[in-house]
C-alpha cells in the first residue's frame, strides 16, 4: 500500500510505510493475534500474564505513539491535497493489489478494505 503513496505523492517509501503501520497492524491483527501479541511482548509492552488481545491493543497504541514521537506525518499533515487523495483511492488500491504485497499480509485485503485503510491513515 505504500508504493502508490510514493508514486502519486512523492512520499519516501519508508515514510509511507510508517504512515500506514498502525492502521494496517490494527486491521491485520485478528488474523494472527498470537504472532502480533508476541511482537508486543518482545517489545516489553505486556504485563505478566496479559492476554493476546490486550497485548495487541498495546502494540497498536505503541505504534501510534512511536509515530507521534518521531513526528511521522499523516498524509494530511504531509500536505497531500485531500481531494486528490480521495480521487486516487480506487487507483491506489488497485495498484497496491497489483504489487502483490497485500497478499503477504496475514489478513489479505480487497480493494474496498485498502481504500478504507487509506482513509484511516489520512487523518
Between helix 13-28 and helix 52-69 the angle, nearest 10°, is 160
pLDDT digits (tens, 9 = 90+) for 79-100: 999 999 999 999 999 999 999 9
**Cβ atoms of 67 and 88 closer than 8 Å:** no
- Burial (CB < 10 A; 0-12, 13-18, 19+), residue 70, is exposed
Whether the predicted model's global pTM rises above the 0.85 cut: yes
pLDDT digits (tens, 9 = 90+) for 59-85: 999 999 999 999 999 999 999 999 999
123: confidence class by pLDDT, cuts 50, 70, 90 = confident
Amino acid at each position: 500500500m505504500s508504493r502508490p503513496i510514493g508514486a502519486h505523492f512523492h512520499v519516501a517509501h519508508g515514510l509511507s510505510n510508517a504512515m500506514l503501520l498502525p492502521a494496517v497492524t490494527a486491521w491485520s491483527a485478528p488474523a494472527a493475534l498470537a504472532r502480533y501479541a508476541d511482537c508486543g511482548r518482545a517489545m516489553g509492552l505486556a504485563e505478566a500474564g496479559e492476554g493476546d488481545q490486550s497485548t495487541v491493543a498495546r502494540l497498536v497504541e505503541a505504534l501510534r505513539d512511536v509515530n507521534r514521537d518521531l513526528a511521522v506525518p499523516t498524509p494530511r499533515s504531509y500536505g497531500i491535497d485531500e481531494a486528490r487523495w480521495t480521487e486516487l483511492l480506487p487507483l491506489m488500491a488497485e495498484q497496491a493489489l497489483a504489487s502483490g504485497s497485500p497478499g503477504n499480509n496475514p489478513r489479505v485485503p480487497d480493494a474496498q478494505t485498502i481504500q478504507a485503510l487509506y482513509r484511516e491513515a489520512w487523518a
